[in-house]
A and B are shown apart, each in its own frame.
Chain A
Amino acid sequence: MSAQDQMIHREKSLLQRIAGGSWLVSVLAILVSLIVGGILIAVTNEDFQEAATYFFARPGTALGAGWTAATEAYLALFQGAIVSPDSGFLPLTETLTNATPLIMAGLGVALAFRAGMFNIGAQGQITVGAIFGAYAGFAWHLPLGLHLLVVILMSVLGGALWGGIVGWLKATTGAHEVILTIMLNYVAIKLLDWILNTPAFLRPGETNPISPIVDKSADYPVIIPGTRLHLGFIVAILLVLLVWWILNRSTLGFTLRAVGENPAAAATAGMSVKRATFLAMAIAGGLGGFAASAQISGTEHVLANGAAGSIGFDAITVALLGRSTPWGTFFAGLLFGAFRAGATNMQISTGTPIDIVLVVQSLIVLFIAAPPLVRTMFGLNRLAKGPKPKAPKPTTHVAEVPAAPATVGAHAAKGAGTVPDAADAPTAVDSPSAVDAGPSTAKHAADPEPPTPPGEAGPTAPETTEGGSK
């Protein structure tokens, strides 16, 4: 029991470290990844490879070729993502179109993160959402307006079902959500395979695994004629606001965050951890379902293998990059949408392999997951020690834990309608909402605490509180 607690605790601290990384680290991670990507573009360029054979005789030629390749590729990336001389701001609409499902699914992952869960299952949630939504789209013929609503509703239902299964299993059996979501991803993908062998989902008289095209009335209306930018983008923005409201202003969101911070403390305070776990996963899945509707009613219009693309996995990156905040996820989604849109132009106009963009995206995750690496690379550790000496890093997280139960209880007793957001009220030094305020507030909170020895001494505190709750 205690070993399991420690494991959960350690994992949570990793989660918080990732979610709580500073914006600076995110920006620097993007920058470093782009530089490494540029080097890769240069090195894999044919002209460079040719010139590299006489590198030591004439290094300028090779370096010039490499520089040209990298700048041309990034220029094409930029022109494909934002604005180009040929097509004006059309590429920007592509960026927004690509970003739409990423933002929606990213919100799902972020929300689960905040409730203390790794939702690796966005892929499966989108897939099942797409199955539900697409069926409603091509099999039912409803009037304009209503049809789209029904498709969205069905998609969300499918996603929420798939996420909810995970939440329910975790809440009732304690099964680990990472294992559950990964396995359910497989189940969803195989389910789609099977469904695409079922005549009811195929075009009449054909055996190719692709569904009929959904009705026009089931499509998101295009916002700007001549582009693919559809109403789903507006829905994505509304969802950002909704998730922000849920997390920061609602009782439910407060419960989710409290459970995410310290389930034992939340339970002590009278919150139902099981209910929160289930709801968090169901809502996360529902957001994945929205992403599915953006696919089905926005860009793809059919159900086929790979309906979810790689959105479910990119969404994890997006949520991480966005530090699991709604607006952070929004901007990270835009960035990744820009990468996707730009990559198309990059590979067509410069022949740069599209995989370079995937490498850049993966590097971003790598650097974000290892903030100390980025800090060391840019000497931030030295700089940060300027004005005020701070407690040694490992203690910060540990020290804030014991503070949580009391304040959580206090807030819960007060009724959560008026819960102050720690980010808005930095004076609430010992507020549990330190999650919001990033590491700096967390460290302020830690400072007044007596120095705790780093490492294994920490978990004793939550253990005692949990003992009390049983």
Chain B
Amino acid sequence: MKNSRRVMAAAAVLGAGALALASCGAAPEESGKSGDAAAKDFLGCIVSDSGGFDDQSFNQSSYEGLKKAEHDFGIKVKQAESKANSDFSTNLNGMVSAKCDLTFSVGFLLADATKAAATANPDVNFAIVDDSSITLPNVKSLTYDTSQAAYLAGYVAAAQSKTGTVATFGGMKIPTVTIFMEGFAEGVAKYNTDKGKTVKLLGWDSAKQDGTFTGDFEKQDKGKTVTQNFLDQGADVVMPVAGPVGKGAAAAVKETKAGGKDVALVWVDSDGYESASQYKDLMLTSVVKAMGTSVEDVTKEAKDGKFDGKAYVGTLANGGVSIAPFHDFDSKVSAETKSEVDALKQQIIDGKIKVEAKK
């Protein structure tokens, strides 16, 4: 019996081997074809962090920007998702071997790997989203001063709050998240100073630079619990800064609204009225971080041979960050508030107001 088992095993291994050989034999001419076609044009590439390109956050926005460039300018695109931190350098080197003209790294976690790849390949261009630590002529860093837009959102939220309490929370305590919360807090404080009001902010303490975090960007139920707590404490405008976890917050706000309370949501990263359209009637406004647009712009520059290693910082002035239209809330936001927001925006652009968020 043991022998027959061995024979079977050998047969199976042989079979598997034959199969592997057969697949090897069939393919070379195929791969040759696709290789030629790809080499003709500008090749824009992108490497995600472990969130993947469907993270409803910066990986996705950046990827969509590059896909838009593919559509608009007819460039070729390659993408690689990292499943672990040790994949970063492999993926970046893979992109270099694939002869990418410009490779985007998404997220500060890729900074070391990007720096190493850019140093080793000085004639290949890289761009890194959400990190500004690299200063090399062939690396462009893309960062966003979202605190400027969050400031405006905080002002509007404070103006719209009837209970005198607004709230925010983050996914994780990392700079790209807290910058939203700090800006929001300063916007609320500005409203209080200008109007002599005492609108309270839950979830972020500007003095301590600490606040409420759900711990990750995945567990929506936690976002819901945290938001429910805020709503129970009387908050009527909530800004979740937690990627997909924001959906949990939206669900809590929706339930409370169905219960007859007048509550609203401030979305982040993209215009929630469109990107989270099932909750569009809750969206007071959104703090938009136009990663897709800037990725597309940088791609266009590189394609036209105008790539440079100067850091790009998205601001209200260059449209890299903005606050979304009020959509359904347009009639509920007073003309006075609207004009004040416009004035504040101008003052920030002119540098008269400095939003002092730590980056």
Contacts and interface: CB of A to CB of B under 8 A. Distances in A.
Given A71-B26, A208-B174, A311 B80 contact: no
B31 A347 contact: no
A425 interface: no
Contact of A28 (B1, B12, B91): B12
B39 interface: no
A74 interface: yes
Nearest to A75: B27
A310 interface: yes
A228 B91 CA distance: 13
Contact of B97 (A75, A87, A351): A87
A204 B292 CA distance: 31
A304 B172 CA distance: 13
Given A72-B27, A306-B85, A384-B1, A348 B95 contact: yes
Nearest to B12: A27
Contact of B9 (A24, A353, A386): A24
Given A68-B30, A383-B4, A208 B358 contact: no
B174 A209 contact: yes
A324 B215 CA distance: 35
A228 B4 CA distance: 42
Nearest to A22: B5
- Interface core residue of B34, B85, B215 (most chain A CB under 10 Å): B85
A349 B98 contact: yes
Contact of A27 (B1, B13, B50): B13
- Interface core residue of B9, B90, B133 (most chain A CB under 10 Å): B90
Contacts, number: 133
Interface stretch (A154-162, A234-242, A295-303, A408-416): A295-303
Contacts of A345: 94
A31 interface: yes
A299 B95 contact: no
A72 B84 CA distance: 24
Contacts of B2: 440
A358 B87 CA distance: 15
A78 B174 CA distance: 39
B4 to A, nearest CB: 6
Contacts of B71: none
A348 B8 contact: no
Contacts of A209: 172-174
Given A71-B30, A210-B108, A440-B5, A94 B84 contact: no
A345 B97 CA distance: 10
Interface in A7-61: 22-24, 27-28, 30-31
B112 interface: yes
A125 B218 CA distance: 23
B337 to A, nearest CB: 33
B300 to A, nearest CB: 22
Interface residues of B, number: 50
B79 interface: yes
B84 A309 contact: yes
A387 B4 contact: yes
Contact of B112 (A68, A76, A207, A302): A302
A309 B83 contact: yes
Contacts of A75: 23-24, 27-28, 31
Interface string A326-357: 00000000000000110111011111011100
Contacts of B50: 306, 309
Interface string A344-382: 110111110111001000000000000000000000100
B85 A384 contact: no
Contact of B84 (A302, A306, A348): A306
Contacts of A384: 1, 4-5
Contacts of A456: none
21 contacts: A24-B8, A24-B12, A30-B16, A31-B15, A31-B16, A71-B26, A75-B24, A78-B24, A86-B97, A207-B174, A207-B358, A209-B173, A305-B172, A343-B83, A347-B79, A348-B45, A348-B80, A349-B31, A383-B8, A384-B5, A440-B2
Interface of B: 1-2, 4-5, 8-9, 12-13, 15-16, 19-20, 23-24, 26-28, 30-31, 34, 45, 50, 78-81, 83-87, 89-91, 94-95, 97-98, 108-109, 111-112, 131, 133, 172-175, 215, 358
By Cβ-Cβ distance, the 9 closest A-B pairs, closest first, are: A309-B84, A299-B86, A75-B27, A348-B94, A24-B9, A71-B27, A208-B108, A71-B23, A207-B175
